[in-house]
C-alpha cells in the first residue's frame, strides 16, 4: 500500500502563487507515476499535472492545458515528495487538490486516467478569491 498526504492549500488572491506538497509513504517503489488532480464544487475531477519516474534520475512531466506555463511539478525521490507550484492563480483554480499514484510500463501512459490511479490522498483546499 501507498499512502499520500497533501499539504500547502491556502486562500490566495488572483495572481498569487502556491506550492502544494504530496508526501508518499509505504510501498513507494511500487509506483512510478504521480499525478495532481483537482475537483471544484459541482464539477468532475480533472487532471492538473503528472510526473513519471523513468529511473536514472529521469522524470517526465505532463500538464493540463489550463495550467501549462504557470505550473511546475517536481519530484524529490529522496524525500518521497511531489510538489506542484502554481503561479498567476486564477479564480477557476479554486478546488480541492488531490495527489494520486500508480504504476505504468510507459511514460506516455502517465496522464489523467483517474480510474487507473491506485492510491489517493485526502486532498488540500485551494481557494482563489479577491
Mean pLDDT of 89-103: 97
Alpha-carbon distance of 13 to 95, in angstroms, equals 14
Please tell me the predicted confidence (pLDDT) of residue 112: 97
| Mean pLDDT over the full length of the chain | 95
Least confident of 52-56, 66-70, 119-123: 52-56
Confidence of residue 67 (pLDDT cuts 50, 70, 90): very high
SS3 30: helix
Provide the H-helix boundaries in the chain. Answer: none
Mean pLDDT of 6-11: 98
pLDDT digits 0-9 by tens, 36-47: 999 999 999 999
Q: Would you say residue 62 has pLDDT above 80?
A: yes
Confidence of residue 58 (pLDDT cuts 50, 70, 90): confident
Please tell me the predicted confidence (pLDDT) of residue 54: 82
The full DSSP string for 68-122 is TTSEEEEEETTTTEEEEEE-S--GGG-EEEEEEEE--SSGGG-S--GGG--EE--
Please tell me the predicted confidence (pLDDT) of residue 48: 98
Confidence of residue 18 (pLDDT cuts 50, 70, 90): very high
* HSE toward the beta carbon, residue 113, CA cutoff 13 A: 10
Amino acid at each position: 500500500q501507498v499512502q499520500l498526504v497533501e499539504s500547502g492549500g491556502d486562500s490566495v488572491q488572483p495572481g498569487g502563487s502556491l506550492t502544494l506538497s504530496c508526501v508518499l509513504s509505504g510501498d513507494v517503489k511500487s509506483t512510478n507515476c504521480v499525478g495532481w488532480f483537482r475537483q471544484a464544487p459541482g464539477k468532475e475531477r480533472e487532471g492538473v499535472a503528472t510526473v513519471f519516474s523513468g529511473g536514472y534520475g529521469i522524470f517526465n512531466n505532463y500538464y493540463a492545458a489550463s495550467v501549462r506555463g504557470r505550473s511546475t511539478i517536481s519530484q524529490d525521490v529522496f524525500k518521497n515528495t511531489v510538489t506542484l507550484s502554481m503561479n498567476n492563480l486564477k479564480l477557476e483554480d479554486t478546488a480541492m487538490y488531490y495527489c494520486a499514484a500508480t504504476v505504468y510500463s510507459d511514460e506516455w501512459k502517465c496522464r489523467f486516467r483517474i480510474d487507473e490511479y491506485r492510491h489517493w490522498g485526502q486532498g488540500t483546499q485551494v481557494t482563489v478569491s479577491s
